[in-house]
Structure 1
């Protein structure tokens, strides 16, 4: 049973594998890939274009292959159809255009639908499509150039042709153009009845005739020059032949003489050389015999020297061997002694390191306890300052609110006084206008009764009445103005007194928070200030009341004056008031300037300052700088911690500051700059004590550690203190 099941499973697996392989074969057969320079165009379910490959299912799809490689077509215009140039000359031209189907899917689809895939790249199809367009482009561009320019500006002519064509080629793209042939059209092919050809023939005839004349002239000049050169050459040849014959004869004579002389010299030299050779042979034989004897003697001497050298060398080797043995024994003995000495020193250093480590651990424990105490004290002091600051802030806020209220009341009083003054001035102007109107009416009535004897009396009476009413109005205005000024001054004084009273109360409330004893003292001071303020207000009120009464009496007296007297008196009062105001302003400015000058003269006796600014800005900047400097000086003088830091950092009794000592110790201990920056001062000194061997340096480090602990700088780093360990 099991075997049958296995057999059935194998059959199913084989069938599935066969089906799978069949599907793979079908898919591989259906997948089509184009060659280089071709694209696939599939129809059925829409037109699809691919350059890489696609599936083509039979019956459902139809596949076509389009050639998109570069093709060339030749456009030739020759003879009567030659290209007409700008100067009306005809040119025989042959241009090759290189174009292909644009590779974009949209362009390929457009070409496939309009032309068809098979015909898209056939030369006949391309000629049918573009012959007229390209010929028109040649005509258009050729008319822009003279015939000679077609040669001289060949690249520009070719680019102009390409630019004229590269617009819309219905899915094609122009890759390049090449001018294969360019020559002038023969005159025999031109039509004399054609206007353009007639002008061309005329120009060709003119140019060729002129060129023929120039060519003939050049040719004749050439013949004349050639003939002249031939004559000159023949004359020169004959002269040279004569000179050659003379030279040859003279040469033969000289050669015979020289040969005879040379033969005699040769014979003489030969005899001399034979004699020298004999002398040389004899001398050589003598030297050879002497050399052989010297050689024998040198051999004997060399043998004796060799024996002596061997004996000396043997003796030296024995001596060196003995010295080396003695030196070796001495070095071994010294090494043993040095080893024992190093062991003893290492034991001693280990004991010192253990002793220093115990001391450091003790110091670390003490530092931790001090840090805890310092933190507790700082926390308590911080809480105390926070409470005091909160109380002071609340009192200052209450004081500011009360001062603002007093200033508002003061401004309201001043506003009421100004309003009353304006109303009084308006009434004065109204009364003056009424008096003027009465005066005019009286003058008019007097003119009506000028013929009677009563006219003068009535006029005088009317004028007197008008003057009386005008004086009454001016007196009333003056009285109202004086009362308004008095009330304004009184209100101002009351507001000032009230503000001072509130300030005193606010100060008392703030001081009460600082302690009962101090609060009692400040309360008595506030009470005294309040009484002084009330007394001052009373005095001011009495003074202002007296001034008001004086002004009223003065106004009543002014009623009895005539118009001219009143105007003169008012002018004197106004002038006196303006004078007092100006003098007061001058005095105030003078006092301010004197005060500033005295302050600056005292503060800047020995200072060197660059002045920037003027008037008040200059004084403010100077006083601000001086205040800042004084504040820093007072802070250092009143702080024991800062005074200690200053003395230890800048006035060390040994002449060196702590920073100088730290830098020297860091450089001698072999620590890096990063260690000095990142470690606290306590940790840095501890590490330096561990890595230092000398007792003197360790003692200096212990003294430095105690100073740092006394200053409270153990947990700070050199970088936090703004100090550069470099």
Structure 2
């Protein structure tokens, strides 16, 4: 009995030991996920875990979680926050930046050192990168006119992406894409005449507006004159057609009258000729009768 009890006790102890070990392994072994990596520091140095896991011992190890999800950040610049362009215009725009910590050990390590657990909180991460992205927009806009930005949106986005990506590179973040959602000129009411840049832009804008008004007025007046000239030309052509119609009618009537007169003249002439011939025939007849009488 004693030997059997000892065996059972040993089995129970082994089972408890295994349970404790499994529990400790479950508790001490930390796994990463697709959305969260971590960096373990302390004994044995730094270890970056992107896909897999590692033992984390209390007191001797410390971990920093790093979010791997893509952050979408919309930056809007309008009103007095609008961007000043190369030609001193103000541009209102809405852009969307997509950034994340790339699945690279160096990048994850850098993000853990510079950002810490803020990569897990989108709002805190926005506070870190928003100013840098806004600066990139302002820097590129300052080197392009408003028309150039509109006509070369792809180039504008490319330059912004380059500068913004460099500005956040030391944080371990990487810029995936930048989208220029909308672009428009700031209303003229937002220009501050007391501001040097705004006053220059306001002067140019006023000149452009007045030039466009003059051009529109010139086009309107030229169109009006063109229409009036066309109407006058139409009237003149109509009168010319009517005149030609009258001349043609008069000419036709005159020709008919002449033809009728010629026909009457010819008729009279023919009648006279026949009467003359008849008289001559009668005279010859009388002469012949007289000759006949004398001969008898």
TM-score bracket relative to the smaller structure = 0.5 to 0.7
Indicate if the aligned counterparts of 2:65 and 2:116 stay in contact, CA closer than 8 A.
Answer: no
CA displacement, residues 380-401 of structure 1 (integer Å, 9 cap, x when unaligned): xxxxxxxxxxxxxxxxxxxxxx
Q: 1:65 to 1:164 in 2, by over 3 A?
A: closer
CA drift of 1:203 comes to: 2.5
Q: Which has the higher contact order (CA 8 A, sep 6+)?
A: 2
Q: 1:103 to 1:145 in 2, by over 3 A?
A: same
Partners of 1:77 and 1:95 in 2: CA distance: 9
CA drift of 1:39 comes to: 0.9
Q: 1:81 to 1:25 in 2, by over 3 A?
A: closer
Higher strand proportion, which one? Answer: 2
Alignment of 1:194-593 (within 5 A): 194-215=195-216
1:578 matched residue in structure 2: none
Partners of 2:186 and 2:165 in 1: CA distance: 28
If the length of structure 2 is used for normalisation, what is the TM-score?
0.63
Asked if 1:86 is matched to 2:114, the reply is no
Partners of 1:29 and 1:194 in 2: CA distance: 63
Q: 1:65 to 1:132 in 2, by over 3 A?
A: closer
2:58 matched residue in structure 1: 58
Partners of 1:108 and 1:21 in 2: CA distance: 35
CA displacement, residues 395-430 of structure 1 (integer Å, 9 cap, x when unaligned): xxxxxxxxxxxxxxxxxxxxxxxxxxxxxxxxxxxx
1:171 matched residue in structure 2: 172
Partners of 1:15 and 1:133 in 2: CA distance: 60
Partners of 1:153 and 1:106 in 2: CA distance: 35
Asked if 1:110 is matched to 2:110, the reply is yes
Q: 1:180 to 1:88 in 2, by over 3 A?
A: same
1:157 matched residue in structure 2: 156
Indicate if the aligned counterparts of 1:73 and 1:126 stay in contact, CA closer than 8 A.
Answer: no
Indicate if the aligned counterparts of 1:40 and 1:53 stay in contact, CA closer than 8 A.
Answer: no
2:33 aligns with one of 11, 32, 35: 35
2:187 matched residue in structure 1: 186
If the length of structure 1 is used for normalisation, what is the TM-score?
0.28
Query: What SS does structure 2 have at the residue aligned with 1:169?
Result: helix
Partners of 1:116 and 1:147 in 2: CA distance: 39
CA drift of 1:15 comes to: 2.6
Q: 1:148 to 1:9 in 2, by over 3 A?
A: same
CA displacement, residues 606-625 of structure 1 (integer Å, 9 cap, x when unaligned): xxxxxxxxxxxxxxxxxxxx
Indicate if the aligned counterparts of 2:29 and 2:56 stay in contact, CA closer than 8 A.
Answer: yes
CA drift of 1:124 comes to: 4.5
1:72 matched residue in structure 2: 72
Q: How many residues align?
A: 222
Q: 1:169 to 1:63 in 2, by over 3 A?
A: closer
Indicate if the aligned counterparts of 1:101 and 1:171 stay in contact, CA closer than 8 A.
Answer: yes
- In our comparison, the structure showing a higher alpha carbon Rg is 1
Query: What SS does structure 1 have at the residue aligned with 2:162?
Result: helix
Partners of 2:144 and 2:201 in 1: CA distance: 14
Partners of 1:90 and 1:215 in 2: CA distance: 24
CA drift of 1:94 comes to: 2.7
Partners of 1:130 and 1:13 in 2: CA distance: 59
Query: What SS does structure 1 have at the residue aligned with 2:69?
Result: coil
Structure 1 residues not aligned, in runs of 5+: 226-726
Indicate if the aligned counterparts of 1:71 and 1:121 stay in contact, CA closer than 8 A.
Answer: no
Indicate if the aligned counterparts of 1:100 and 1:121 stay in contact, CA closer than 8 A.
Answer: no
Higher helix proportion, which one? Answer: 1
- RMSD of the alignment, in Å? 3.1
1:15 aligns with one of 10, 13, 16: 13
1:146 matched residue in structure 2: 145
Structure 2 residues not aligned, in runs of 5+: 228-296
Q: 1:16 to 1:175 in 2, by over 3 A?
A: same
Q: 1:10 to 1:80 in 2, by over 3 A?
A: closer
Indicate if the aligned counterparts of 2:165 and 2:175 stay in contact, CA closer than 8 A.
Answer: yes
Q: 1:194 to 1:5 in 2, by over 3 A?
A: closer
Q: 1:170 to 1:64 in 2, by over 3 A?
A: closer
2:284 matched residue in structure 1: none
Partners of 1:214 and 1:55 in 2: CA distance: 77
Q: 1:123 to 1:22 in 2, by over 3 A?
A: closer
CA displacement, residues 195-251 of structure 1 (integer Å, 9 cap, x when unaligned): 4323322332233233334556767869x99xxxxxxxxxxxxxxxxxxxxxxxxxx
Query: What SS does structure 2 have at the residue aligned with 1:120?
Result: helix
CA drift of 1:53 comes to: 1.8
Q: 1:166 to 1:115 in 2, by over 3 A?
A: closer
Partners of 1:11 and 1:183 in 2: CA distance: 82
Query: What SS does structure 1 have at the residue aligned with 2:138?
Result: helix
CA drift of 1:171 comes to: 1.7
Indicate if the aligned counterparts of 1:88 and 1:199 stay in contact, CA closer than 8 A.
Answer: yes
